[in-house]
């Protein structure tokens, strides 16, 4: 009997083990394979749909814009430099302003009446692109004229790390440092802490408002993100600075308005202009590949895309009001015609055109095609439109060239600007300064963009995922034409390789088929020091 019970117990135990193994092992195995293969599984292409109609393609190709179209006789180089001599410099950045939502870039809504008026006396750059659709790296490219893979500021593991102490070479020539050394009073007014000395951006300015670095928590609360008077707050500080300058000191003001960036706290007078209406020209769509992350952890967009676009447009109108106020204050002091004014953005904003929400990870035009206007002082400079390809990195070398500011141009990578002076375009001496523009995103499935007027090539890390868009027939970038035009993609990838190899840290992972992206992280600042973490926590960027 005892032996029988023992035998039955053993049989039962073996049976349980067999059943357990049959159920659990495959699950364990599957789980293990999934985990282990995070870096090996590639996204699938999203079904492409029919290609754009050939008729549309022919029509689009027939419409060729002149590269440089200036009214009257363009100035000579000497005349151009004489037109800015002794003038002040004001750069206004509207955070996350995409060019196609400005009236002077063809948007049918009245989002930017002040900027449109200024544009009629300025040079409008129609095909201008940012280097990175993210505030810190883009602003550093503006100040240094360097590409992100050279200046080193990027968000390598999500949102938090972008606020880490930045490794910009301390010998780097910066716009504010150069102007300061040449007698300018340099002031930064920023509604976004990600474009402030608190995170190592714009550290050479003599005055920074608000003083983010000293009491991060207090200043963050006081700053733009949660106030409907954030634009006015900067304007008040600018007014004080103008009074302090007293019309005697030449100044360089960098003004960074947080809107149209979220949150959407535009005063009611701007929100009521667009609320409940149907946005023009807006179409939702998908990215070229599955799995590529299109949603950002920090984005909390409105559920309805129409509502989102309306709120965004109201915020843009708010930023435009700020630009108009800057103009009014300069005019009141008789400084408007003694000031070079540049209006631009650090990046655009994706509102589900390709599934992407917000901007950091989106490689499409909605996130990288930005406005650029240059208004010369005293009505003496050029006026018109330029469609040659230009980039954020060009602004610093252009200012240096216009004002005759010298710096050692043969310094090592990371210390000198890499952009091109736009002076040859402004005098009509050239119709192009480059063949391609380059932008990039970061994080898991980072993407590099190579773009000219006709094509946009997206290269994801690992070199296997590529998408090519024929912008002539498909400006909305909806049809991946890679299989139809392999030679075009090859030529553009070769151009990217040359560009990549000219960077301080060449981003060759976009071409390397053996590269495996790291497992996706949630950007909790894994590589940050304890001190930086506590600073970020105080700023509200870390849980």
DSSP 3-state percent helix, strand, coil across the chain (nearest 5): 40, 15, 50
Smallest gap from Cβ 259 to Zn ion, in A, equals 11
Stretch near Zn ion under the rule CB under 5 A, chosen from 90-98, 166-174, 282-290, 308-316: 90-98
Contact 257, 92 (CB under 8 A): yes
The set of residues, in sequence order, having a beta carbon less than 8 Å from that of 527 and lying 6+ positions away, is 156, 157, 161, 164
For residue 163, the minimal CB distance to Zn ion (Å) is: 12
Nearest CB to Zn ion, comparing residues 127 and 346: 346
For the bound state, the minimum distance from the C-beta of residue 347 to Zn ion, rounded and expressed in Å, comes to 5
Scan residues 51-80 and list those touching Zn ion (CB under 5 A): none
**Site stretch for Zn ion (CB under 5 A), options 53-61, 127-135, 178-186, 350-358:** 127-135
Distance CA 403, CA 182 (A): 10
Task: Give me the least distance between CB of 492 and Zn ion, in Å please.
Answer: 27
Tell me whether residue 299 or residue 495 sits nearer to Zn ion (CB atom).
299
Whole-number minimum distance, CB 96 to Zn ion, in Å?
5
- φ, ψ dihedrals at 232, nearest 5°: -65, -35
- Residue 116 interacts with Zn ion (CB under 5 A): yes or no: no
Look at strands 339-344 and 88-94 and give their pairing: parallel
Q: What gap in Å lies between CA 353 and CA 341, rounded to an integer?
A: 32
Strand, helix or coil for residue 99: helix
Output the smallest distance, CB 95 to Zn ion, in A: 4
In angstroms, give the least distance from the CB of 88 to Zn ion: 25
Q: Point out which span in 44-52, 93-101, 279-287, 499-507 binds Zn ion (CB under 5 A).
A: 93-101
Cα 353 to Cα 289: distance, rounded to the nearest angstrom: 14
By Cβ distance, which residue is nearest to Zn ion? 135
Q: 90 or 370, CB closer to Zn ion?
A: 370
Instruction: Please give the full DSSP string across 29-95, using - where no structure is assigned.
Output: HHHHHHHHTTTTPPPPBPP--SPPPHHHHHHHHH----SEEESSSPPPHHHHHHHHTT-EEEEEEET
Residue 259 vs 428, nearer CB to Zn ion? 259
Whole-angstrom distance, CA of residue 247 vs CA of residue 219: 29
Residues in 399-458 at the binding interface with Zn ion, rule: CB under 5 A: none
Alpha helices in 434-529 (DSSP H): 486-501
Q: Name the packing angle between helices 305-332 and 230-245 (round to 10°).
A: 20
Contacting Zn ion (CB under 5 A), which of 320, 346, 366, 470?
Answer: 346
Q: Judge whether 423 and 77 are in contact, CB under 8 Å.
A: yes
Smaller CB separation from Zn ion, 163 or 511: 163
Find the part of the chain contacting Zn ion (CB under 5 A) among 71-79, 95-103, 296-304, 489-497: 95-103
For Zn ion, the closer CB: 135 or 415: 135
- Which residue stretch of 91-99, 285-293, 309-317, 508-516 sits at the interface with Zn ion (rule: CB under 5 A)? 91-99
Shortest reach from residue 16's CB to Zn ion, in Å: 59
**Which x/- pattern, by CB under 5 A, does the window 302-341 give for Zn ion?**
----------------------------------------
Residue 231 CB partners (closer than 8 Å, separation 6+): 191, 224, 257, 258, 259, 318, 319, 321, 322, 325
Indicate which single residue of 95, 126, 176, 296 sits in contact with Zn ion (rule: CB under 5 A): 95
Least distance to Zn ion, CB of residue 64, Å: 33
Q: Are 107 and 280 in contact (CB under 8 A)?
A: yes
Name the minimum Å distance from CB 351 to Zn ion: 15
Q: How many beta carbons lie within 10 A of that of residue 47, not counting itself?
A: 7
Whichever of 128 and 385 has its CB closer to Zn ion, that residue is: 128
CB 372 within 8 A of CB 102: no
Residue 77 or 100 having the CB closest to Zn ion: 100
Closest distance between Zn ion and the C-beta of residue 346, in Å?
4
Closer CB to Zn ion, residue 176 or residue 346? 346
Which C-beta is closer to Zn ion: that of 80 or that of 350?
Answer: 350
- The phi, psi pair for 269, rounded to 5°, reads -60, -25
Query: Between residues 103 and 193, which has the closer beta carbon with respect to Zn ion?
Result: 193
Planar angle of CA 380, 383, 386, nearest 5 degrees: 140
Residue 153 CB, shortest distance to Zn ion, in Å, is 13
Shortest distance in whole angstroms from residue 318 CB to Zn ion: 15
Q: How many residues of this chain interact with Zn ion, rule: CB under 5 A? A: 3
Count CB-CB contacts under 10 A for residue 422: 26
Inter-axis angle of helices 395-402 and 77-84, to 10 degrees? 90
Residue 414 in contact with residue 169, Cβ under 8 Å?
yes
Q: Say how far apart CA 103 and CA 336 lie, in whole Å.
A: 22
Binding mask 160-199 for Zn ion (x = CB under 5 A): ----------------------------------------
Provide the b/e sequence for 83-101 (b: ≥16 CB within 10 Å): bbeebbbbbbbbbbbbbeb
Judged by CB, which is closer to Zn ion: 256, or 453? 256
State whether residue 16 is helix, strand or coil.
helix
Q: How far is the CB of 382 from Zn ion (least distance, A)?
A: 29
Among 83, 87, 114, 135, binds Zn ion (CB under 5 A): 135
Q: Which stretch binds Zn ion (CB under 5 A): 21-29, 279-287, 344-352, 395-403?
A: 344-352
Q: Say if strands 68-70 and 455-460 run parallel, antiparallel, or are unpaired.
A: unpaired
Nearer to Zn ion, 347 or 453 (CB): 347
Q: Which residues bind Zn ion (CB under 5 A)?
A: 95, 135, 346
């Amino acid at each position: 009997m005892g032996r029988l019970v023992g035998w039955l117990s053993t049989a039962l135990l073996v049976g349980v083990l067999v059943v357990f193994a049959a159920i659990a092992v495959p699950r364990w195995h599957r789980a293990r394979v999934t985990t282990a293969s995070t870096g090996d599984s590639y996204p699938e292409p999203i079904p492409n749909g029919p290609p754009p109609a050939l008729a549309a393609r022919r029509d689009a190709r027939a419409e060729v814009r002149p590269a440089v179209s200036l009214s009257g006789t363009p100035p000579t180089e000497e005349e151009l430099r004489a037109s800015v001599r002794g003038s002040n410099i004001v750069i206004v950045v509207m955070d996350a302003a995409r060019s196609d939502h400005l009236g002077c870039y063809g948007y049918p809504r009245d989002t930017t009446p002040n900027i449109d008026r200024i544009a009629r006396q300025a040079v409008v750059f129609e095909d201008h692109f940012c280097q990175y659709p993210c505030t810190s790296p883009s602003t550093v490219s503006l100040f240094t004229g360097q590409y992100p893979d050279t200046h080193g500021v990027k968000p390598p593991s999500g949102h938090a790390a972008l606020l880490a102490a930045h490794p910009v070479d301390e010998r780097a020539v910066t716009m504010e440092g150069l102007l300061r050394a040449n007698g300018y009073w340099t002031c930064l007014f920023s509604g976004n802490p990600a474009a402030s000395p608190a995170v190592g951006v714009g550290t050479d300015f003599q005055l920074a408002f608000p003083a983010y670095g000293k009491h991060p928590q207090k200043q963050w609360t006081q700053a733009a993100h949660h106030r409907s008077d954030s634009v006015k707050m900067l304007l008040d500080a600018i007014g004080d600075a103008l009074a302090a300058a007293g019309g005697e000191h030449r100044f360089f003001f960098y003004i960074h308005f947080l809107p149209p960036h979220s949150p959407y706290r535009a005063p009611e007078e701007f929100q009521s202009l667009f609320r409940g209406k149907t946005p023009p020209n807006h179409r939702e769509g998908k990215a070229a590949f599955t799995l590529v992350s299109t949603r950002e952890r920090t984005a909390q967009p409105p559920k309805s895309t129409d509502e989102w676009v309306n709120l965004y447009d109201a915020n843009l109108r708010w930023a435009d009001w700020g630009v108009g106020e800057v103009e009014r204050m300069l005019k009141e002091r008789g400084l408007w015609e003694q000031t070079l004014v540049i209006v631009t953005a650090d990046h655009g904003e994706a509102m589900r055109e390709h599934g992407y929400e917000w901007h950091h990870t989106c490689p499409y035009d909605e996130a990288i095609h930005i406005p650029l206007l240059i208004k010369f002082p005293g009505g003496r400079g050029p006026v018109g439109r330029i469609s040659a390809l230009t980039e954020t990195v060009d602004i610093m070398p252009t200012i240096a060239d216009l004002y005759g500011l010298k710096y050692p141009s043969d310094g090592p990578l990371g210390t000198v600007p890499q952009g091109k002076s736009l002076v040859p375009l402004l005098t009509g001496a050239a119709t192009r300064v480059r063949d391609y523009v380059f932008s990039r995103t970061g994080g898991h499935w980072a993407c590099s963009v190579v773009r000219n007027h006709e094509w946009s090539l997206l290269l994801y890390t690992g070199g296997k995922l590529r998408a090519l868009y024929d912008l002539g027939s498909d400006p909305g970038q909806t049809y991946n034409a890679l299989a139809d035009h392999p030679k075009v993609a090859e030529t553009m990838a070769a151009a990217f390789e040359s560009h990549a190899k000219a960077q301080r840290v060449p981003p060759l992972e976009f071409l390397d088929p053996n590269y495996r992206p790291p497992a996706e992280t949630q950007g909790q600042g894994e590589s940050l020091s304890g001190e930086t973490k506590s600073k970020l926590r105080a700023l509200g960027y870390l849980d």
